[in-house]
């Protein structure tokens, strides 16, 4: 714990983590089926509260209760593809901040068109890997949830997306790149073990939404969420170097790091 | 273990836990997508067996194999909203006991109407938080899966629901209130950590169905399931005070407590 | 670890495990909603990569990226029942090896007809319990995900299925039976704890697909996956004898066994 107290990245983002713990923002997640569990448990561990309904009939009503919205296109069900546009529209009407995670965009036809349309609804943060950012601007395809490009290759595309949304583009990689109209922030933290657990990228998007829901500005929220999960991952790795127990330790560490 | 042997609540409900271990009831769960994992793993840890199909085409057929049914409206998919009424009708026709968990009722339009209609199908137990019980009778809204009301505020509404169903209403809170036509039981056990893991409320509903499926009467089943998860939670907390490892320890403890 | 080195079953299948670690095959899984988490995390722990999209609009496109395909009928959603036939057809057209896990076939009407039709699309491996194998040939029903028959009762039916598919039928039980046109392999490894965690059967199917995706022949792939999860289970049991922590230890052991 004493090490964490002196961590300079954690020190920078601590006010945002504290705000999440104090305000317990309700984060409406229309997220990949496969990672719903880690997203919901990760939000609870962080001190936020998840809500996961995705149907067209209910999600646009439920979002009125939320403090922030996460849209993750990971496994895009029919319910999700019908419910997402109306829920984002409702969130925008309410002035709710929202995060777009265009998982696997580029290959899958429905989500590629949808993601590009959703950019016009001004997501506060777009969180994606480099291949996905390139695909958003039509420059490249993706390969499942993995990235074949590195963040620096996607900088130009990210600036283009940021110009369109007016928000932040957070490019995940070994070094994360957080970009808005004027600034560029680099966070080189974390552990490769984070890529050996399903849904840690989805959870990063959800934590970003939680930080927005607690009042952080887009760049500040993206920075805080990126540091939060990366430092928690580093701490978890010291305790659990294999993927099953690492997943459990990561959730514990999200809790521990925030206190 | 010696402490568990002398726990008075556990002593009271032990015959039901033993019946679940011996009969291994098959519990058909039409449950929230986000908590399917903990519901299924929790049932297995408890000694019961889960079955999760929810489509209109298959669920009403599958329920004929089951010993009990759980309906949880948590993230109500289109498949679920189509499959639930017919599956409940089939269960009722077979004389199967069933549990209704009207998660997030009050806000979401589809599930609110559905939950009120389902009450007429005589669920043996309705398990809900105080806000949800109030919403069932039209007295209040809810706020996601959280409750803003406390159990005692919902007693009148619970009696009203119980009069309609002829069964038990189990109101979850810091102190749980179990109500039927004539009796009122209070269980003040558990740990706040149970609210920091997704789906523990859904799991309580599933365990209640397992107890019914093993032959317990409604009030007895609600009591046994409430004590089971609460005592398991207390035991887990002594071993794992953070949410990730607490979830794992909770599943271990459900197994340990039942032996 | 030294014990693992001298394990004769593990020694036999090690080249396949090494191929999975080196090639990191992308496994497209149209799988049961309840076990998506353990399937995806288990594939990652094993060194493979999961992809889970199941809609008709997207799954047949996504499968073009994959090295192998898993079809698991566990909780068959409407999206799945629409997407599966077209995705299998696309996979067959690409010459991708695929695994059929006809979970709960026999009772549920949609999946029973679908599973029989899918057999004509030449799955490299059909993985099922004895009741499910019997149901595939119309000889018996199933009971949820559990089996009431033992592998030896299903040998004749398995030969019939193998004659139709030209591939392997892997019958799960206390002793697993792997059958193709000419050969019969028996693997009597593992632990009953594997039946107390949701989705370990689904994960076995996914690991089989991963082995196929890494270049193994069908019988070799079924053998390797069966030994992999069984030995990992045995190792996990020595460390975690209750179901919650066993699930975590199983994922750790899948990683450890493969190195």
pLDDT digits (tens, 9 = 90+) for B166-206: 999 999 998 999 999 899 999 999 999 999 999 999 999 99
Q: Where are the beta strands (DSSP E) in A47-189?
A: 49-51, 68-72, 98-101, 125-129, 168-172, 176-179, 184-187
Has residue B143 got a pLDDT over 60?
no
Q: What is the pLDDT of residues B32-80, one digit of tens each?
A: 999 999 999 999 999 999 999 999 999 999 999 999 999 999 999 999 9
Cβ-count burial A222-238 (b if 16+ within 10 Å, e if not): bbbbbbbbbbbbbbbbe
- pLDDT tens track, chain A, 259 positions: 556 778 999 999 999 999 999 999 999 999 999 999 999 999 999 999 999 999 999 999 999 999 999 999 999 999 999 999 999 999 999 999 999 999 999 888 899 999 999 999 999 999 999 999 999 998 764 444 456 677 888 999 999 999 999 999 999 998 999 999 899 999 999 999 999 999 999 999 999 999 999 999 999 999 999 999 999 999 999 999 999 999 999 999 999 998 8
Token representation of residue C112: 């029973």
A203 CB-near residues (< 8 Å, 6+ apart): A35, A38, A39, A42, A43, A229
Residue ranges of the binding site of A: 52, 127, 172, 199
- Report the distance separating Cα C91 and Cα A229, nearest Å: 37
- Report the distance separating Cα A188 and Cα A184, nearest Å: 13
Has residue C143 got a pLDDT over 50?
no
* The predicted structure's pLDDT at residue B150: 78
- Report the distance separating Cα A145 and Cα A131, nearest Å: 9
* The predicted structure's pLDDT at residue C145: 47
Q: What is the pLDDT of residues C196-210, one digit of tens each?
A: 999 999 999 999 999
Mean pLDDT of C30-34: 94
Nearest CA in chain C to A38: C37
Percent pLDDT > 90 in chain C is: 88
Question: Which residue of A36, A135, A198 is the best one to mutate when testing the C interface, meaning the one whose CB has the most C CBs within 10 A?
Answer: A198
Which of C104, C109, C146 is closest, CB to CB, to B57?
A: C109
Which of A54, A248, A256 is closest, CB to CB, to B248?
A: A248
Chain C positions in Cβ-Cβ contact with residue A39 (cut-off 8 Å): none
pLDDT band of C187, cuts 50, 70, 90: very high
pLDDT band of C92, cuts 50, 70, 90: very high
Against chain A, the chains showing at least 3 CB pairs within 8 Å are B, C
Q: Is B147 annotated as a binding residue?
A: no
Least confident of A149-153, C31-35, C225-229: A149-153
3 state DSSP class of A108: strand
Domain boundaries, chain A: 8-250
* The predicted structure's pLDDT at residue C193: 97
Task: Answer yes or no: do A44 and B196 touch at CB < 8 A.
Answer: yes
Would you say A197 and A247 are in contact if contact means Cβ atoms under 8 Å apart?
yes
- Report the distance separating Cα B197 and Cα B194, nearest Å: 6
The residues on B that touch A, with CB distances below 8 Å, are 32-35, 37-38, 74-78, 81, 104, 107-111, 143-146, 195-199, 242-245, 247-248
Has residue C144 got a pLDDT over 50?
no
Q: Average model confidence (pLDDT) for chain B?
A: 94
Mean pLDDT of B93-99: 98
- Report the distance separating Cα B204 and Cα B200, nearest Å: 6
Max CA-CA distance within chain C?
49
pLDDT band of B22, cuts 50, 70, 90: very high
Backbone φ, ψ for residue C128 (5° rounding): -160, 165
- The CATH homologous superfamily to which domain A8-250 belongs is Ribokinase (3.40.1190.20)
Query: How close is the nearest chain B Cα to the Cα of A162, in Å?
Result: 32
Nearest CA in chain A to C31: A34
Q: Average model confidence (pLDDT) for chain C?
A: 94
Task: Name the residue with tokens 């009591």.
Answer: B223
- Report the distance separating Cα B59 and Cα B90, nearest Å: 9
Which of C76, C146, C244 is closest, CB to CB, to B252?
A: C244
Mean pLDDT of C228-244: 97
Neighbouring C-beta atoms of residue B153, cutoff 10 Å? 18
| Triad A220, A76, C34: Cα angle to 5° | 100
Q: What is the pLDDT of residues B105-130, one digit of tens each?
A: 988 889 999 999 999 999 999 999 99
**What is the bridge-based pairing of β-strands B184-187 and B176-179?**
antiparallel
| Triad B174, B175, B176: Cα angle to 5° | 115
Percent pLDDT > 90 in chain B is: 88
C-alpha dihedral sign at B10, B15, B21, B27: negative
Q: Where are the beta strands (DSSP E) in chain B?
A: 26-30, 49-51, 68-72, 98-101, 125-129, 168-172, 176-179, 184-187
Neighbouring C-beta atoms of residue C65, cutoff 10 Å? 17
User: What's C95's DSSP letter?
Assistant: T
Q: Is C127 annotated as a binding residue?
A: yes
Question: Which residue of C41, C244, C249 is the best one to mutate when testing the B interface, meaning the one whose CB has the most B CBs within 10 A?
Answer: C244
pLDDT band of B3, cuts 50, 70, 90: low
Mean pLDDT of C162-184: 95
- Report the distance separating Cα A152 and Cα C26, nearest Å: 25
Against chain C, the chains showing at least 3 CB pairs within 8 Å are A, B
> How many Cα atoms are found within 13 Å in the side-chain-facing hemisphere of B90?
22
- Report the distance separating Cα A59 and Cα B75, nearest Å: 9
The residues on B that touch C, with CB distances below 8 Å, are 26, 33, 36-37, 40-41, 44-45, 49-55, 57-58, 61-62, 65, 77-79, 247-256
* The predicted structure's pLDDT at residue C5: 75
Q: Is B199 annotated as a binding residue?
A: yes
Nearest CA in chain B to C109: B58
Which of C36, C58, C251 is closest, CB to CB, to A76?
A: C58
Higher pLDDT, B147 or C119: C119
* The predicted structure's pLDDT at residue A146: 53
């Amino acid at each position: 714990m004493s090490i964490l107290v002196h961590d300079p990245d954690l020190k920078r983002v601590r006010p945002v983590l504290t705000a999440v713990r104090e305000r317990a923002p309700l984060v409406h997640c229309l997220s990949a089926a496969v990672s719903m569990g880690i997203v919901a448990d990760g939000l609870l561990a962080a001190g936020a509260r998840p809500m996961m309904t995705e149907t067209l009939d209910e999600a646009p009503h439920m979002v009125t209760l939320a403090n922030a919205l996460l849209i993750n296109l990971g496994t895009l069900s029919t319910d999700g593809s019908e419910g997402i546009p109306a829920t984002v529209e409702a969130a925008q009407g309410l002035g709710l901040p929202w995060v777009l995670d265009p998982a696997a965009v580029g290959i899958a036809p429905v989500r590629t068109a949808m993601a590009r349309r959703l950019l016009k609804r001004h997501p506060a943060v777009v969180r994606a890997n480099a291949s996905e950012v390139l695909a958003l601007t039509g420059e490249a395809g993706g390969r499942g949830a993995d990235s074949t490009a590195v963040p620096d290759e996607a900088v130009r595309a990210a600036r283009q997306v940021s110009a369109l949304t007016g928000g932040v583009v957070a490019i995940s990689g070994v070094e994360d790149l957080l970009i808005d109209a004027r600034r560029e922030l680099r966070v080189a933290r974390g552990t490769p073990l984070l890529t050996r657990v399903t849904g840690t990228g989805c959870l990063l998007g959800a934590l970003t939404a939680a930080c927005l829901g607690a009042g952080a500005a887009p760049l500040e929220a993206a920075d805080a969420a990126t540091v939060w999960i990366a430092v928690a991952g580093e701490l978890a790795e010291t305790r659990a170097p294999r993927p099953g127990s690492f997943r459990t330790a990561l959730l514990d560490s999200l809790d521990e790091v925030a206190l």
